Structure 1
Amino acid sequence: MSSETAKIPPSGPKGGNFRLSNANLPRLPGHIRQPAYDRSLISPGIVHLGIGAFHRAHQAVVIDDLLAGGATDWGIVGASLRSPATRDALAPQDGLYTLAVRSGAGSDHRIIGSVLAIDVATEKSGQLIARLANPATRIVSLTITEKGYCHTPQTGDLDEHHPDIVHDLQNPGTPRSAIGHLVAALARRRIASAAPFTVLSCDNLSGNGQTVGRIVTQFAALRSRNLAKWIEAEVAFPSTMVDRIVPETTDLDRAEISSALGMIDAWPIITEPFTQWIVEDRFPAGRPDFAAAGVQLVSDVTPFEHMKLRLLNASHSALAYLGYLAGFETIAATMTDHRFVAFARQVMQDAAQTLAMPAGTDMAAYSASLLQRFSNPALHHRTWQIAMDGSQKLPQRLLATMQDRLRLGLPIDTHALAVAGWMRYVTGIDERGRAIDVRDPLARELADIAERAGPVAERLAPALLEVSSIFGTLGNDPRMRSAVTGALAKLYALGARQAVQTFQAA
């Protein structure tokens, strides 16, 4: 979910005091694309957990296209599991918001209308469970970020000691977690002899469908073995691969977009022209005609998911940690330094050697397109934003490739430098001695380790590698310890820019 807080911009010279809403759509300039359908005729068929920026730039846009094509029963009800900020921003706008697609050529603005309502679980958990249990809900999709699954990233299993899981087992009628809500609603549907919904994870998890299916079933088994057996037998958890870069929305973005609209939009979304969605075609409860909106339906998402995690997400994280340490605020700014471009390319090349892709997949072209996308000057994607929740991201993005390369007898120096960048970042002190606002579920634990070890690579790297929830048994591999410790020592001695430079020279 997004960490942003919506702020209503002051009315500009064009904006007056109008607010984006159904009633004010006729006031929009003619070049602004509007929903090409009567929203009053649309009924919800999807409940989406985690109604943050990424969903509104990706899946909600696909559904908007399908509604424009004539679908009427696949509208979206969004749900925020924590903060009411998105609901508070969009409710006065009847769920409408602007999608601003930006590139070096300029911006294209479009109003998205597929989100019909937004629930806030912390206010009315019962109402959200009732929506999920309603037979009209045939798909429950999720973008709750890796940490929202209350699991151990290294194993993919439910973390039974997670505070939200402990709470939800004790209070099944008022859950906090997405997993608790899913199981509460599925239990109701089972009792009512109603068909279950399909659970569609759209997060960057390895085997996201299988992973969320395992987590949900494990949680259900702690409530009822029979419920777990029913979920395992009846509920579909298709896997997906989703790809679009979505920076956080700034106050300047809000002001600029509101000026372009001639009215206030409290929470527009910024994104890039590129978008991709690959979905395992397994929807026993029915689905929209995804293919009509450009979604690629396949029998096995795994190769595409691995390609994205290990090429796009891995290089993105590497650039985020090392770029932040080097003083770059955004990915695009980092990409102005040829040393970081070369390093990102090497991350992708090393990862590509571990992938087995379907015939005809051009990974070189895909990698080249990623470097172009990262360099988009119109996207101000902050390195700090991408660096969030690294303890949840490293296993899928970097460590899986390192495991495979070690198994193949290949060097891991490239990825070791990226991991070392994360290690220095989570100490909370940058290269200039300034504090870093580290946002991570394990931030306190990681800070304590860093404080005890001090800024000494030979102590800090081994100590962090012992965090088994991140590194598992990989942290005990002497090849891993040697490579990461050496890379961290280089970072402390030279700084990120020179470390990347010497790496390139090597």
Structure 2
Amino acid sequence: MAESFIQWVIEDDFIAGRPALEKVGVELVESVLPWEEAKIRILNATHAAIAWAGTLIGLNHIDESTRQPDIYALAHAYITRDVIPSLSPSPLDLADYRDVVLARFSNPYIKDTNQRVGADGLSKIPGMVTPTLRECYQRGAQPEATAMLPALFYLFLQRWARDDLPYTYQDGVLQADALRQQFASEDALKAFLSDSTLFAELAGDAAFHALVSRKVADLQAWTEQPGTLAGCGIRSASCISVLISARQNSKR
């Protein structure tokens, strides 16, 4: 058992003609940029967030983490409220892509680990998450849902600094001694949010600091008592359970 999903998108820009690639299911498009951005922000960023969140409540795999109702709700809200408006208009059906991605992540036959997917967060935040944060502010929107992602990663790194992760965290740009020292300080969260390599100009934005700080507090409470995210504007667990079941049934 695995999955039937396949997507092959190629920019239709050939210098000397091309074979009839569309006959074998290739999507030939004028520009692949919208597909790249959708993959980075909807698939990749969500994947990492699910891994960090699952790890924080003792889960080991992406599928079980995605099926946890609070985590599913968090991921769904991030894409729906912040990413889709940031990427619209788009030639893709972004809502359908969201649903396909979350259904794939929920597949119990794909045992991808939170350890693998959660790796390299210090590169994923600036490359996959910060662009959506910035674009929300640029269009005058408060990135409430996206702010959960750096908050998750902060709590994840806090566990790492305490040697309290259930696995070895791998990150190609991690400077372990410096980061441990940062997390040992009284202003660890402020230092994290003030890192311009992670958050660009938002590193100096007091409103951004306040927003993520609130999300850290919300998520800290959630790790101690899962099920408490509904009070933070996240959809109820019962509603998300229905969504998961409906989506999985539609794929059978």
Structure 2: give runs of 5+ residues left out of the alignment. Answer: 237-252
The 1:488/1:460 distance shift into structure 2, 3 A limit, reads farther
Task: Output the CA distance in 2 between the equivalents of 1:278 and 1:376.
Answer: 23
Task: Output the CA distance in 2 between the equivalents of 1:450 and 1:431.
Answer: 8
Task: Output the CA distance in 1 between the equivalents of 2:235 and 2:29.
Answer: 42
1:451 to 175, 178, 181: 181
Task: State the Cα deviation string for residues 183-229 of structure 1 (Å, max 9, x = none).
Answer: xxxxxxxxxxxxxxxxxxxxxxxxxxxxxxxxxxxxxxxxxxxxxxx
Q: Which residue of 2 aligns with 1:355?
A: 87
Q: Which residue of 1 aligns with 2:107?
A: 376
Q: Which residue of 2 aligns with 1:398?
A: 129
AA aligned opposite 2:8: W
Q: Which residue of 2 aligns with 1:325?
A: 56
- RCO higher in 1 or 2 (8 Å CA, sep ≥ 6)? 2
1:472 to 181, 200, 203: 200
Does structure 2 retain, via aligned residues, the 8 Å contact 1:334–1:340?
Answer: yes
Q: Post-superposition shift, 1:329? A: 0.8
How does the TM-score come out when normalised to structure 2? 0.80
1:415 to 119, 124, 146: 146
Q: Post-superposition shift, 1:409? A: 1.6
The 1:435/1:372 distance shift into structure 2, 3 A limit, reads closer
Q: Which residue of 1 aligns with 2:172?
A: 441
AA aligned opposite 1:440: D
Task: Output the CA distance in 2 between the equivalents of 1:462 and 1:425.
Answer: 16
Matches within 5 A, 1:11-22: none
Task: State the Cα deviation string for residues 77-118 of structure 1 (Å, max 9, x = none).
Answer: xxxxxxxxxxxxxxxxxxxxxxxxx34xxxxxxxxxxxxxxx
Q: Secondary structure at the match of 2:13?
A: coil
- Number of matched pairs: 233
The yes-or-no answer on 1:344 pairing with 2:75 is: yes
The 1:339/1:427 distance shift into structure 2, 3 A limit, reads closer
Does structure 2 retain, via aligned residues, the 8 Å contact 1:336–1:375?
Answer: yes
Does structure 1 retain, via aligned residues, the 8 Å contact 2:193–2:209?
Answer: yes
How does the TM-score come out when normalised to structure 1? 0.42
Which is higher, the Rg of structure 1 or of structure 2? 1
Q: Which residue of 1 aligns with 2:211?
A: 483
Q: Post-superposition shift, 1:430? A: 8.4
AA aligned opposite 1:363: L
Q: Post-superposition shift, 1:434? A: 4.4
Q: Post-superposition shift, 1:394? A: 1.8
Q: Secondary structure at the match of 1:469?
A: helix
More helix by share: 2
> What's the C-alpha RMSD, in Å, of the aligned pairs?
2.8
Task: State the Cα deviation string for residues 377-414 of structure 1 (Å, max 9, x = none).
Answer: 10001111111111222223211111111112212222
The 1:358/1:420 distance shift into structure 2, 3 A limit, reads closer
1:425 to 125, 131, 156: 156
AA aligned opposite 1:339: D
1:306 to 30, 37, 42: 37
Structure 1: give runs of 5+ residues left out of the alignment. Answer: 1-101, 104-271
